[in-house]
Amino acid sequence: EAKRQGRGCVRVFDESMDESIRFRRQIETGLSEAIAKGELKLVFQPIVGRDLDITGFEALIRWCSPEYGMVPPAMFIPIAEESQLIHELGDWVIDEAIVALKTWPGQYVSVNFSPRQFRRQNFVAHVVERVTSAGVDPGRFQIEITETAIFDNVERAAEILFKLRQMGFRIALDDFGTGYSSLYNIRRFALDCLKIDRSFVDGMGRERESAAIVHSVIHLGRALGMEVVAEGVETDTQLQALRLAGCSHMQGYFLSRPIDAEDAQMLAERGTLLGRSEAETQLEAA
């Protein structure tokens, strides 16, 4: 009986494996046609200073598939990342981000790069060529990478980041605190910005540990002359706590959801979330 059950389980397991492989293939095929079919778009989430002035926007990819509906990047980026597709996708993102950036008066665009993109041969030359040939100041182009991207080859990463920074690019370490950064490497790397992962911001009000980590990162960033962006600010309480802790920059649904390019342009021209977001009333009430 147990044996039969065991076999049954194996069979079910195999089927679900088949299923998931088929699903991945479908996503891969759909995705490889998505660019040409115009199914991809970028949305932009404001990054604000303490007074709600808009200093930049993070570019976030969206895939609106007629077949699957809105596919979240967390689902398709890892699949693209397993093939060359990530490069095609990544280049599309760079170009679109630049188009949007050109409509803003001075803010930067922050673009996510996956580990595989970062490891690409001639990564520096590739990005430099794309950004500068578009006539964009690299100082308004922020490259967001995660700890995973740099810590499998620290020497090479340090060299790449140094070169990029020399060319004037901004570099941000995304989801900071979730990976394997050592403080030694943080100091060694040429970084402009630390983005505190939203799990810590989320835990701030509940757990002493999260609050302590948020405070430490803010101080570390400050001491090393880096900008610190708190990600995933969802409530007024978090916003106030972060301001009190001396956090210089914030991003999250409470301030603004990611918005489309036209809305981002209007906001950029306005320069501030004051008078627009829910946060303002809260800020003034506080």
User: Which spans of this chain sit near Mg ion (rule: CB under 5 A)?
Assistant: 112, 144, 174-175, 231
CB neighbours of 77 closer than 8 A, spacing ≥ 6? 61, 86, 89, 114
Binding pattern for the stretch 178-217 against ligand C2E, x by CB under 6 A and - elsewhere: --------------------x-------------------
Identify which range of 18-26, 110-118, 153-161, 275-283 contacts ligand C2E by CB under 6 A. 110-118
Which of ligand C2E, Mg ion, none binds 258 (CB below 5-8 Å, type-dependent)?
ligand C2E
Query: Least distance from C-beta 120 to ligand C2E, angstroms?
Result: 12
Cα 73 versus chain centre, distance: 11
d(CA 270, CA 140): 18
Which of ligand C2E, Mg ion, none binds 106 (CB below 5-8 Å, type-dependent)?
none
Q: Using CB under 6 A, pick the residue from 6, 8, 72, 205 that binds ligand C2E.
A: 72
d(CA 17, CA 20): 5
Q: Using CB under 6 A, pick the residue from 28, 88, 234, 263 that binds ligand C2E.
A: 234
35 binds ligand C2E (CB under 6 A): no
Residues 129 to 158 in contact with ligand C2E, rule: CB under 6 A: none
Q: Are 57 and 3 in contact (CB under 8 A)?
A: no
- The neighbour count for residue 212, using CB atoms within 10 Å, is 12
Q: Using CB under 6 A, pick the residue from 85, 93, 160, 217 that binds ligand C2E.
A: 93
Question: What angle do the packed helices 261-270 and 85-101 form, to 10 degrees?
Answer: 40
Identify which range of 18-26, 72-80, 185-193, 209-217 contacts ligand C2E by CB under 6 A. 72-80
60 binds ligand C2E (CB under 6 A): yes
253 binds ligand C2E (CB under 6 A): yes
Identify which range of 26-34, 149-157, 217-225, 230-238 contacts ligand C2E by CB under 6 A. 230-238
- Residues 223, 51, 111, CA angle at the centre, nearest 5°? 70
First to last CA, the chain: 66
Q: What is the DSSP letter of 272?
A: B
- Using the minimum distance from each CB to Mg ion, give the nearer residue, 147 or 231: 231
Q: Are 54 and 267 in contact (CB under 8 A)?
A: yes
Angstrom CA distances, 111 to 66, 146, 168, stand at 26, 12, 15
Taking the CA of residue 49 as centre, how many other CA atoms within 13 Å lie in the half-sphere pointing to its CB? 9
Strand 69-71 relative to strand 108-112, pairing: unpaired
Q: Using CB under 6 A, pick the residue from 232, 239, 248, 249 that binds ligand C2E.
A: 232
Q: Are 190 and 161 in contact (CB under 8 A)?
A: yes
Which of ligand C2E, Mg ion, none binds 140 (CB below 5-8 Å, type-dependent)?
none
Contacts with ligand C2E, residue ranges (CB under 6 A): 45, 60-61, 72-74, 77, 93, 112-114, 174-175, 198, 232-234, 252-253, 258
